[in-house]
Copies of this chain bind each other. A is one copy, B any other.
Amino acid sequence: MKKVYLKDIAKEANVSTALVSYVLNDRLTDRIKPETASRIKKIAERLNYTPDFLGKALKSQKTKTIGLILADLANPFSAQVARIIENKVSAYDNIVLIGSTDEKNENFKGLVTTFTNRQVDGLILLPTAHSENEIQRIHKTNIPYVLMDRYFPNKPYNFVVNDNHYTTYTAVKQLIKNGRKKIGFITLDIDLFHISERTRGYLDACKEANISTQKMIKKVNGNQLSIEVEQAIEELMYSCPDVDALLFSTNLLTLYGLKYAIKHKLQVPEVIEIMAVDKAEYYDIFPTPITYYKQPLEEMCNKAVQFLMSKIESNNSESIQEVIKGTLVIGK
Protein backbone atom coordinates (compact mmCIF):
# COMPACT_ATOMS: atom_id res chain seq x y z
CA MET A 1 0.00 0.00 0.00
CA LYS A 2 3.06 2.26 0.00
CA LYS A 3 2.92 5.12 -2.43
CA VAL A 4 4.50 4.41 -5.78
CA TYR A 5 6.87 6.86 -7.41
CA LEU A 6 8.55 7.11 -10.77
CA LYS A 7 11.71 5.70 -9.31
CA ASP A 8 9.93 2.54 -8.16
CA ILE A 9 8.77 1.89 -11.68
CA ALA A 10 12.21 2.76 -13.01
CA LYS A 11 13.88 0.30 -10.69
CA GLU A 12 11.45 -2.46 -11.54
CA ALA A 13 11.87 -1.85 -15.27
CA ASN A 14 15.61 -1.30 -15.01
CA VAL A 15 15.52 2.05 -16.75
CA SER A 16 15.94 5.66 -15.71
CA THR A 17 13.13 7.70 -14.21
CA ALA A 18 13.43 10.02 -17.17
CA LEU A 19 12.46 7.28 -19.54
CA VAL A 20 9.52 6.31 -17.37
CA SER A 21 8.40 9.91 -17.34
CA TYR A 22 8.64 10.17 -21.13
CA VAL A 23 6.67 6.98 -21.58
CA LEU A 24 3.91 7.77 -19.15
CA ASN A 25 3.51 11.23 -20.63
CA ASP A 26 3.56 9.95 -24.19
CA ARG A 27 6.47 12.15 -25.19
CA LEU A 28 9.32 11.18 -27.45
CA THR A 29 7.12 8.38 -28.74
CA ASP A 30 9.03 8.15 -32.04
CA ARG A 31 12.25 7.51 -30.22
CA ILE A 32 11.33 5.04 -27.54
CA LYS A 33 11.38 1.36 -28.30
CA PRO A 34 7.77 0.15 -28.34
CA GLU A 35 8.53 -2.91 -26.22
CA THR A 36 10.21 -0.79 -23.55
CA ALA A 37 7.29 1.58 -23.55
CA SER A 38 4.68 -1.11 -23.11
CA ARG A 39 6.76 -2.83 -20.46
CA ILE A 40 6.93 0.39 -18.48
CA LYS A 41 3.26 1.10 -18.94
CA LYS A 42 2.36 -2.34 -17.71
CA ILE A 43 4.46 -1.97 -14.59
CA ALA A 44 2.99 1.45 -13.90
CA GLU A 45 -0.49 0.02 -14.17
CA ARG A 46 0.30 -2.98 -12.01
CA LEU A 47 1.80 -0.79 -9.28
CA ASN A 48 -1.15 1.56 -9.64
CA TYR A 49 1.01 4.59 -10.17
CA THR A 50 -0.39 8.09 -10.04
CA PRO A 51 1.96 11.01 -10.43
CA ASP A 52 2.75 12.88 -7.25
CA PHE A 53 0.84 16.11 -7.31
CA LEU A 54 3.43 18.23 -5.55
CA GLY A 55 6.37 17.11 -7.62
CA LYS A 56 4.48 17.66 -10.79
CA ALA A 57 3.09 20.99 -9.73
CA LEU A 58 6.43 22.30 -8.58
CA LYS A 59 8.04 21.44 -11.88
CA SER A 60 5.19 22.55 -14.13
CA GLN A 61 4.12 25.51 -12.01
CA LYS A 62 0.54 24.45 -12.62
CA THR A 63 -1.69 23.26 -9.80
CA LYS A 64 -4.89 22.51 -11.71
CA THR A 65 -6.67 24.42 -8.99
CA ILE A 66 -9.12 27.29 -9.18
CA GLY A 67 -9.76 29.59 -6.25
CA LEU A 68 -13.34 30.67 -5.65
CA ILE A 69 -13.94 33.54 -3.29
CA LEU A 70 -17.51 34.30 -2.33
CA ALA A 71 -19.45 35.98 0.43
CA ASP A 72 -20.68 33.10 2.55
CA LEU A 73 -20.83 29.46 1.66
CA ALA A 74 -23.73 29.00 4.05
CA ASN A 75 -25.86 31.36 1.98
CA PRO A 76 -27.87 29.33 -0.56
CA PHE A 77 -26.88 31.66 -3.39
CA SER A 78 -23.19 31.17 -2.68
CA ALA A 79 -23.62 27.44 -2.15
CA GLN A 80 -25.40 27.18 -5.47
CA VAL A 81 -22.63 29.03 -7.25
CA ALA A 82 -19.99 26.92 -5.52
CA ARG A 83 -21.66 23.70 -6.51
CA ILE A 84 -22.01 24.68 -10.16
CA ILE A 85 -18.42 25.89 -10.30
CA GLU A 86 -17.28 22.66 -8.67
CA ASN A 87 -18.99 20.70 -11.43
CA LYS A 88 -17.73 22.80 -14.31
CA VAL A 89 -14.20 22.92 -13.03
CA SER A 90 -13.96 19.21 -12.33
CA ALA A 91 -14.90 18.56 -15.95
CA TYR A 92 -11.53 20.12 -16.73
CA ASP A 93 -9.86 17.83 -14.21
CA ASN A 94 -9.28 20.77 -11.90
CA ILE A 95 -10.45 21.33 -8.37
CA VAL A 96 -11.76 24.32 -6.46
CA LEU A 97 -10.59 26.06 -3.35
CA ILE A 98 -13.46 27.91 -1.71
CA GLY A 99 -13.25 30.80 0.70
CA SER A 100 -15.90 32.96 2.36
CA THR A 101 -15.33 36.66 2.96
CA ASP A 102 -18.35 37.42 5.15
CA GLU A 103 -18.40 40.63 3.13
CA LYS A 104 -15.22 41.80 4.84
CA ASN A 105 -12.64 43.35 2.63
CA GLU A 106 -9.75 42.21 4.81
CA ASN A 107 -10.94 38.62 4.53
CA PHE A 108 -11.15 39.05 0.79
CA LYS A 109 -7.57 40.25 0.62
CA GLY A 110 -6.44 37.49 2.93
CA LEU A 111 -8.06 34.84 0.78
CA VAL A 112 -6.57 36.25 -2.40
CA THR A 113 -3.16 36.09 -0.77
CA THR A 114 -3.69 32.59 0.58
CA PHE A 115 -4.90 31.32 -2.76
CA THR A 116 -2.21 32.95 -4.85
CA ASN A 117 0.43 31.72 -2.43
CA ARG A 118 -0.93 28.29 -3.07
CA GLN A 119 -0.39 28.91 -6.72
CA VAL A 120 -3.95 28.52 -7.92
CA ASP A 121 -4.03 28.65 -11.70
CA GLY A 122 -6.99 31.00 -11.73
CA LEU A 123 -9.42 32.93 -9.56
CA ILE A 124 -13.17 33.35 -9.65
CA LEU A 125 -14.08 36.30 -7.50
CA LEU A 126 -17.31 37.59 -6.00
CA PRO A 127 -15.58 40.59 -4.48
CA THR A 128 -16.48 42.54 -1.38
CA ALA A 129 -17.32 46.21 -1.28
CA HIS A 130 -14.30 48.51 -1.62
CA SER A 131 -12.08 45.79 -2.96
CA GLU A 132 -11.31 47.61 -6.17
CA ASN A 133 -7.70 48.28 -5.25
CA GLU A 134 -7.20 44.58 -4.76
CA ILE A 135 -8.90 43.79 -8.07
CA GLN A 136 -6.73 46.31 -9.83
CA ARG A 137 -3.66 44.69 -8.35
CA ILE A 138 -4.81 41.27 -9.51
CA HIS A 139 -5.63 42.65 -12.93
CA LYS A 140 -2.09 43.94 -13.30
CA THR A 141 -0.48 40.64 -12.43
CA ASN A 142 -1.00 38.00 -15.03
CA ILE A 143 -2.93 35.50 -13.00
CA PRO A 144 -6.10 34.55 -14.87
CA TYR A 145 -9.14 35.80 -13.00
CA VAL A 146 -12.75 36.68 -13.57
CA LEU A 147 -15.24 38.56 -11.46
CA MET A 148 -18.67 37.02 -11.08
CA ASP A 149 -21.95 38.40 -9.85
CA ARG A 150 -20.28 41.58 -8.62
CA TYR A 151 -18.12 43.92 -10.69
CA PHE A 152 -16.86 47.43 -11.26
CA PRO A 153 -18.22 49.62 -14.03
CA ASN A 154 -16.14 51.27 -16.74
CA LYS A 155 -13.05 49.31 -15.88
CA PRO A 156 -11.09 46.84 -17.97
CA TYR A 157 -11.53 44.03 -15.43
CA ASN A 158 -12.86 40.68 -16.54
CA PHE A 159 -16.38 39.90 -15.45
CA VAL A 160 -19.38 37.70 -16.07
CA VAL A 161 -22.47 39.02 -14.39
CA ASN A 162 -26.21 39.07 -14.32
CA ASP A 163 -27.95 42.05 -15.90
CA ASN A 164 -28.96 43.68 -12.66
CA HIS A 165 -30.68 46.66 -14.16
CA TYR A 166 -32.81 44.34 -16.27
CA THR A 167 -33.51 42.24 -13.19
CA THR A 168 -35.44 44.80 -11.24
CA TYR A 169 -36.65 46.60 -14.33
CA THR A 170 -38.56 43.54 -15.54
CA ALA A 171 -39.68 42.69 -12.03
CA VAL A 172 -41.24 46.13 -11.61
CA LYS A 173 -42.74 45.99 -15.10
CA GLN A 174 -44.45 42.78 -14.11
CA LEU A 175 -45.72 44.28 -10.88
CA ILE A 176 -47.17 47.19 -12.83
CA LYS A 177 -48.73 44.77 -15.29
CA ASN A 178 -50.27 43.07 -12.26
CA GLY A 179 -51.90 46.40 -11.44
CA ARG A 180 -49.56 47.43 -8.64
CA LYS A 181 -49.09 51.15 -8.22
CA LYS A 182 -47.20 51.67 -4.96
CA ILE A 183 -44.14 49.56 -5.14
CA GLY A 184 -41.70 49.41 -2.27
CA PHE A 185 -38.13 48.33 -2.85
CA ILE A 186 -36.06 46.77 -0.13
CA THR A 187 -32.39 46.43 -0.81
CA LEU A 188 -29.01 46.31 0.85
CA ASP A 189 -27.12 49.33 2.04
CA ILE A 190 -23.88 48.16 0.56
CA ASP A 191 -21.49 49.81 -1.83
CA LEU A 192 -21.58 47.25 -4.60
CA PHE A 193 -22.29 48.24 -8.16
CA HIS A 194 -24.54 45.30 -8.94
CA ILE A 195 -26.77 46.24 -6.03
CA SER A 196 -27.02 49.87 -7.08
CA GLU A 197 -27.88 48.68 -10.56
CA ARG A 198 -30.87 46.92 -9.07
CA THR A 199 -31.99 50.20 -7.56
CA ARG A 200 -31.53 51.90 -10.91
CA GLY A 201 -33.62 49.24 -12.65
CA TYR A 202 -36.37 49.73 -10.12
CA LEU A 203 -36.25 53.50 -10.50
CA ASP A 204 -36.25 53.43 -14.29
CA ALA A 205 -39.24 51.12 -14.50
CA CYS A 206 -41.19 53.22 -12.03
CA LYS A 207 -40.31 56.44 -13.77
CA GLU A 208 -41.41 55.07 -17.11
CA ALA A 209 -44.79 54.24 -15.63
CA ASN A 210 -44.98 57.53 -13.79
CA ILE A 211 -44.96 55.83 -10.44
CA SER A 212 -43.59 57.77 -7.53
CA THR A 213 -40.62 56.28 -5.72
CA GLN A 214 -40.56 58.90 -3.03
CA LYS A 215 -39.80 57.17 0.28
CA MET A 216 -40.36 53.81 -1.38
CA ILE A 217 -36.77 52.60 -1.18
CA LYS A 218 -35.44 51.10 2.03
CA LYS A 219 -31.84 50.14 2.47
CA VAL A 220 -30.82 47.80 5.28
CA ASN A 221 -27.22 47.35 6.26
CA GLY A 222 -27.32 43.64 6.85
CA ASN A 223 -25.94 43.30 10.34
CA GLN A 224 -29.24 42.18 11.81
CA LEU A 225 -31.29 41.35 8.80
CA SER A 226 -34.22 39.92 10.71
CA ILE A 227 -34.84 43.11 12.66
CA GLU A 228 -33.79 45.50 9.94
CA VAL A 229 -36.11 44.07 7.32
CA GLU A 230 -38.95 44.21 9.79
CA GLN A 231 -38.24 47.85 10.50
CA ALA A 232 -37.83 48.67 6.84
CA ILE A 233 -41.19 47.19 5.97
CA GLU A 234 -42.88 48.93 8.84
CA GLU A 235 -41.41 52.29 7.97
CA LEU A 236 -42.48 51.78 4.41
CA MET A 237 -46.03 50.93 5.40
CA TYR A 238 -46.15 53.85 7.75
CA SER A 239 -45.04 56.43 5.20
CA CYS A 240 -47.12 54.81 2.49
CA PRO A 241 -50.03 52.91 3.99
CA ASP A 242 -51.42 51.84 0.66
CA VAL A 243 -48.22 50.21 -0.58
CA ASP A 244 -49.37 47.32 -2.77
CA ALA A 245 -46.12 45.58 -3.66
CA LEU A 246 -42.73 44.81 -2.18
CA LEU A 247 -39.72 43.97 -4.28
CA PHE A 248 -36.76 42.46 -2.44
CA SER A 249 -33.37 42.74 -4.03
CA THR A 250 -31.72 39.57 -2.65
CA ASN A 251 -32.68 36.11 -1.54
CA LEU A 252 -32.00 36.73 2.15
CA LEU A 253 -34.00 39.94 2.15
CA THR A 254 -36.85 38.01 0.60
CA LEU A 255 -36.60 35.32 3.25
CA TYR A 256 -36.98 37.84 6.02
CA GLY A 257 -39.67 39.64 4.06
CA LEU A 258 -41.68 36.45 3.84
CA LYS A 259 -41.15 35.78 7.52
CA TYR A 260 -42.52 39.21 8.23
CA ALA A 261 -45.49 38.58 5.99
CA ILE A 262 -46.30 35.39 7.88
CA LYS A 263 -45.75 36.89 11.28
CA HIS A 264 -47.92 39.90 10.60
CA LYS A 265 -50.43 38.08 8.45
CA LEU A 266 -50.03 40.33 5.43
CA GLN A 267 -52.60 39.63 2.76
CA VAL A 268 -50.33 38.36 0.00
CA PRO A 269 -51.02 38.94 -2.82
CA GLU A 270 -54.53 40.38 -2.36
CA VAL A 271 -53.38 43.52 -0.60
CA ILE A 272 -49.66 43.42 -1.18
CA GLU A 273 -47.65 41.44 -3.69
CA ILE A 274 -44.19 40.16 -2.92
CA MET A 275 -41.59 39.73 -5.61
CA ALA A 276 -38.08 38.39 -5.24
CA VAL A 277 -34.71 38.49 -6.85
CA ASP A 278 -33.16 35.00 -6.84
CA LYS A 279 -34.73 31.62 -6.89
CA ALA A 280 -35.21 29.71 -3.64
CA GLU A 281 -36.52 26.24 -3.00
CA TYR A 282 -38.68 27.40 -0.18
CA TYR A 283 -40.91 29.89 -2.00
CA ASP A 284 -43.29 26.97 -2.39
CA ILE A 285 -43.94 26.76 1.30
CA PHE A 286 -45.17 30.29 1.41
CA PRO A 287 -48.95 30.04 1.23
CA THR A 288 -49.25 31.92 -2.03
CA PRO A 289 -47.06 31.86 -5.14
CA ILE A 290 -44.05 34.12 -5.36
CA THR A 291 -42.76 35.54 -8.61
CA TYR A 292 -39.01 35.81 -8.76
CA TYR A 293 -36.18 36.74 -11.07
CA LYS A 294 -33.99 33.74 -11.74
CA GLN A 295 -30.35 34.62 -12.29
CA PRO A 296 -28.61 32.81 -15.15
CA LEU A 297 -26.25 31.04 -12.77
CA GLU A 298 -25.44 28.07 -14.96
CA GLU A 299 -24.57 30.29 -17.87
CA MET A 300 -22.55 32.69 -15.73
CA CYS A 301 -20.53 29.92 -14.15
CA ASN A 302 -20.05 28.24 -17.48
CA LYS A 303 -18.76 31.37 -19.16
CA ALA A 304 -16.52 32.20 -16.24
CA VAL A 305 -14.95 28.76 -16.08
CA GLN A 306 -14.56 28.50 -19.84
CA PHE A 307 -12.86 31.84 -19.98
CA LEU A 308 -10.48 30.96 -17.16
CA MET A 309 -9.59 27.61 -18.62
CA SER A 310 -8.85 28.96 -22.06
CA LYS A 311 -6.80 31.72 -20.49
CA ILE A 312 -4.84 29.26 -18.37
CA GLU A 313 -4.18 27.02 -21.32
CA SER A 314 -3.22 29.54 -23.93
CA ASN A 315 -2.02 32.45 -21.84
CA ASN A 316 -3.63 34.79 -24.36
CA SER A 317 -4.48 38.41 -23.75
CA GLU A 318 -8.22 38.09 -24.17
CA SER A 319 -10.60 39.73 -21.75
CA ILE A 320 -14.26 39.15 -21.01
CA GLN A 321 -17.08 41.44 -20.03
CA GLU A 322 -20.39 39.64 -20.17
CA VAL A 323 -23.72 40.82 -18.87
CA ILE A 324 -26.26 38.05 -19.05
CA LYS A 325 -30.01 38.29 -18.67
CA GLY A 326 -31.99 35.89 -16.50
CA THR A 327 -35.72 35.29 -16.54
CA LEU A 328 -38.68 36.29 -14.48
CA VAL A 329 -40.41 33.18 -13.21
CA ILE A 330 -44.07 33.85 -12.63
CA GLY A 331 -45.48 32.27 -9.49
CA LYS A 332 -48.35 30.10 -10.51
Contacts and interface: CB of A to CB of B under 8 A. Distances in A.
A329 B273 CA distance: 32
Interface of A: 1, 50, 52-55, 57-58, 61, 63, 72-74, 76, 78-80, 82-83, 86, 95-100, 113-114, 117-119, 140-141, 255, 258-259, 261-263, 280-282, 284-287
Contacts of A114: 95
Contacts of A53: 117-119
Given A54-B58, A141-B1, A73 B79 contact: yes
A87 B262 CA distance: 33
A74 B297 CA distance: 13
Contacts of A99: 86, 95
Nearest to A284: B259
Contacts of A83: 72-74, 100
A261 B287 CA distance: 9
Tell which of A82, A140, A281 has the most Cβ of chain B within 10 Å: A281
8 contacts: A50-B113, A52-B117, A53-B118, A54-B54, A55-B58, A82-B98, A86-B99, A285-B285
Contact of A262 (B58, B78, B284): B284
A255 to B, nearest CB: 6
A95 B95 contact: no
Top 8 nearest A-B pairs by Cβ distance? A282-B282, A79-B79, A74-B83, A258-B285, A54-B58, A73-B83, A259-B284, A53-B118
A256 to B, nearest CB: 9
Contact of A54 (B1, B57, B141): B57
A73 B86 contact: yes
B284 A287 contact: no
A262 B286 contact: yes
Nearest to A64: B118
A47 B305 CA distance: 33
Contacts of A74: 76, 79-80, 82-83
A287 B83 CA distance: 31
B118 A95 contact: yes
A170 B282 CA distance: 26
Tell which of A76, A86, A285 has the most Cβ of chain B within 10 Å: A285
A282 to B, nearest CB: 4
Nearest to A55: B58
